[in-house]
Structure 1
Amino acid sequence: MLSHVHPSRAEASPPLRFGIVLLPNFTLTAFSGFVDLLRLASDEGDMSRPVRCSWTIVGESLVPVRASCGIQVAPWITFDEAGAFDYVVVVGGLLHSGPSASKATLQFIQNAAKTSATLVGICTGVFALMRADVMDGYRMCVSWFHYWDFVERFPGVDERNLVADRLFVIDRRRITCSGGRASIDVAAAILLRHVEATIVQKALRIMLVDDAQKGNAPQPHPPGLEPATHPKVRRAILLMEQHIGQPLSLADLAQRLEMSVRQLERLFASETGKSPHAYGRQIRIRMASWLLTSSDRTVADIATSCGFSDASHLGREFRKEFGESPNAYRVARPPSQSPALPPSARLDTDDGHVHADNGNAAI
């Protein structure tokens, strides 16, 4: 005999409305992680009904949108058919493969910004929010991988509002997320505003996620960096990477991490065995060594790009590290023997080749 299920108070109230916009070459993981947490938290008993929240994929047309992995997802309704949403979520992906957000998409984002909706940019979705001119005065999160891409495309951006050392940033009615697994974390943070924590925790456990990370949790360290256990040190390393060409002072670094210089020095010593200055120097030397063997740029140009005052300064530091001059290092190591790819080199996944980032290494 089927048991009668009484509607809960959540079922009796209107669901939280999410409009999801998929950009060309969007990242499937970012999209699926976000929407699956909505699905699991929306209903009981693995029924997947849109009870506590509803989600609608919105597009310029009903033509399927191709993810970066090749899978295609068709919008359910067009922008013209869309009603009101509580959250408008823009999911991005590859930056260097084909068209970006269309004029119609940017107009839809602009129109949504004039309503009470909160705008959410996931992965490179923040690029579309910037192009739509709806991020003025807001703090925003980008992946360390695309930091310099962002700065190059939006040279007028106030870098004080640009965060690439945290998983996501919530600033009033703007939420931006670095992408990947962090899309689950930002979905959890949004749901916790509206539904009981036990419901969100249950959904996370079903997805085999122990607990959602907070927005100030550090992004995973870039490849090639020695992982530090303490999140403050990991964030400090990411900040060093972001400012490789114009290194932050120790006081600025400590201020961004909301700690004293003395605390930062002690923490760095215990976590890495080095001072912040020595660790930052190691990052810049490593980048310079990679550029010497993977590009034809001059030593002077490389020195400037990596935060050294001139070629002589780089030469002195290089001899301390490798026992030879930059030119001798370059001659002795052809491209096939070049060091491992540094975290600040960008991998353009559209053609499968690695490219130096014209002196503005992605950090």
Structure 2
Amino acid sequence: MTRTRIAIAGAGYIGQAHIDVLLQSSTCELSAVVDPSPQAQALAAKAGVPLYKSLEELLDRDRPDGVVLATPNQFHVPHALLCMAAGLPMLLEKPVASTVAEGRALARQAEEHNARILIGHHRAHSPIMAKACEVVHSGALGRLVSVMGSAVFFKPDQYFSDAPWRSQPGAGPILLNMIHEVHNLRMLAGEVVAVQAFASNAVRNFQVEDTVAINLRFASGALGSFMLSDSAASPRSWEQTSQENKAYASYDDEDCYVIAGTNGSLSVPTMRLKTYPSAQDRSWWKPFEVGVVGMIRQDPLVHQMEHFGAVVRGEVEPLVSVQDGLANLRVTEAIAEAAKSGRVIEIEAQ
């Protein structure tokens, strides 16, 4: 079998993760690394592939079957447009754009070019999330009532000293971290139609927030609450509970989401399920049937790359489309606006 040739543009943390996945893939192979930085040379040499300084040079000298755009956020749209003009399928890392306005423009171009674009919200490829969505959408919980979520963790001081921009406007956990959670929440509970939020920078005293309390209203009428902080010493985050990224310490007894309906609740990712035996005999005085939903834990980046290879080959449609990425960005931007203004922000349909 001829493997699908994939180039990686951007040799930072996530780009290196994609390189590692490609080096282990049986259906795709790393064809090149694109990055102007000096350290990229060593990465390309170790992987045994050529290094190009720009996407233009890559397209001129060694056109791959597809490309992963893991470049800095501000380059996502111009790099995507360049690849689109060349007819090159791409895995575009999140966020789809730096602003909703830019994302809308990109979405229009993608539709006009009939472009094959997968947006890199890798948790969409998580077997844990797939099983959680299966349970929720099966109706086992009854009508969805509430979603309680958290991404509460502690970023060390070095995280900010290594990259001072992370403490400046344009960064902060709303824009850097919450967009991952938004996609998970949309997968579990449907579209978010309104948000409100309180933000604080009382711990770090940076120009950006370190802690945010968020309320959400979903199109179904369900409500959600979410606690976000990068300054709280807690393991209640996806990274520290899912066990999907072995770089993080993990705790089997913690969850980061609880989804509750009129007949029961599901805790994720422990997958503890509590439901009433009878829909006609529900009460807080009655005991639940208690169980654990069977599921597997696997690296979603591996599944994402296999899926991208199939997108490149024209075998499937992207699981996470440009419109999906734009919806996630729209909610994230609304949370930031709500925290700044103190108002409830209604989110317009796409």
> Is the strand fraction higher in 1 or 2?
2
| Bigger Rg, structure 1 or 2 | 1
Q: TM-score, normalised by structure 1?
A: 0.33
Q: Which has the higher contact order (CA 8 A, sep 6+)?
A: 2
